[in-house]
Amino acid sequence: MELKYIDLFCGIGGFHKAFDELKCNSRCIIACDIDKNCRDMYNKNFNINPYKNIKDINEDMIEEEIDIFCGGFPCQTFSNAGKKKTFEDERGLLFNEIIRLAKIYTPKIMFLENVKHILKVGNGEVIKYILQQLDNIGYKVQIFNISPHNYEIPQQRERVYFVCIRNNIYNNIEIKLPKYIGNKLKFTKFLDNKEDIDKKYFITGDILKCLEVWDEIIQQFEVGEKISPVIMINEVYNNHTEEEFNKYPNWKKDYITRNKPLIKKYKPIFDKWYNKYKDILQKREIYGKLEWQVGKIKDNDSIFNYFIQIRQSGIRVKKAEYFPTLVAITQIPIYGKEKRYITPRECARLQSFPDNYILSDNDKYSYKQLGNSVNVNNVKTIINSTLTHYKLL
């Protein structure tokens, strides 16, 4: 039996790659994506030229029976990093295009993916709306929340998958995923040899200087010291008045207040350090914020023992167990031990694309595309479990 599917919001083809790797006699009939660079990479890898817009797909385009829809519908309106405008944003309304096409082609199964916060945003009204619309057109839905790190891929990337089964084939039995095996993570096997990596990926200039400055103060803390979640060092020395402090947003006042015991304990050290490095710490607002997410200070501790991201909220330091979530904006993880950004090819491995997958020649495009992509291994797990359950393999 050949399984024919439509790849909606296809990106660079994470769902397509998962179907190919399952070797389940599947065929992509149509794909679509709004991003031209994604369409180019999809064509290079799968020899299919996606349509530009899901709205371009209509009932006159396909005569064959469609078995499956798949797609990670736009998540910017639901993401924790965004403004959570939900369906006030046109991108949020694109979910309705899936419903429109499902009415036309009535696929047996739909595999849809989004960020986990879609379950909470809009006071729960968004997920309520989604499930109601799917129910209205005759689909039962099972939701899975999984991350690559649950299955030996060292990236924490929690996503929800909606497995939508057409009512007339639904068997009223829950689909079971394989047991999680995330305790065997070895992130180093996903990395290239340091000697083989282009020099352009190694941090230099202000970024390196800023991290070295923070590393200097970290090494002066006592072993066992608990660092406040975010040290906002410029606010310690900006001489704000009580009136100015009271005008700060609550989150900022909270961090400043929680910083005070640490600053007081190490005040002579902080004073000397800040006076020496205030130029770099004040150069950009984010340089003066350290978000330390790796617990108490350890013996011979260093900022370079961990993964680092330069975020809008500041410098985030995370445990070197698995990589932070890859995102489509400029927060490329820094591998502290080697003082470098991870490369696009390493990002591709973390998204479970094989090394023979063709990436863009433009790193900026690759980072964005991979940050937006579904994880191939997670998708394959979901699809394989579903098709096995319904004896469609």
Q: Among residues 75, 164, 210, 347, which one is catalytic?
A: 75
Question: How far is C-alpha 341 from the chain's CA centre?
Answer: 16
Residue 79 has φ and ψ, to the nearest 5°, of -65, 145
Residue 90 has φ and ψ, to the nearest 5°, of -60, -30
Q: 3-state class of 340 per DSSP?
A: strand
Beta strand 139-146 with 314-318 is unpaired
Instruction: Reply yes or no on whether 75 is catalytic.
Output: yes
Asked whether the beta carbons of 93 and 71 are under 8 A apart, the reply is: no
Residue 72 has φ and ψ, to the nearest 5°, of -95, 95
Asked whether the beta carbons of 100 and 60 are under 8 A apart, the reply is: no
Which residues does 260 contact at the CB level (< 8 Å), separation at least 6? Answer: none
Asked whether the beta carbons of 155 and 322 are under 8 A apart, the reply is: yes
Catalytic residues: 75
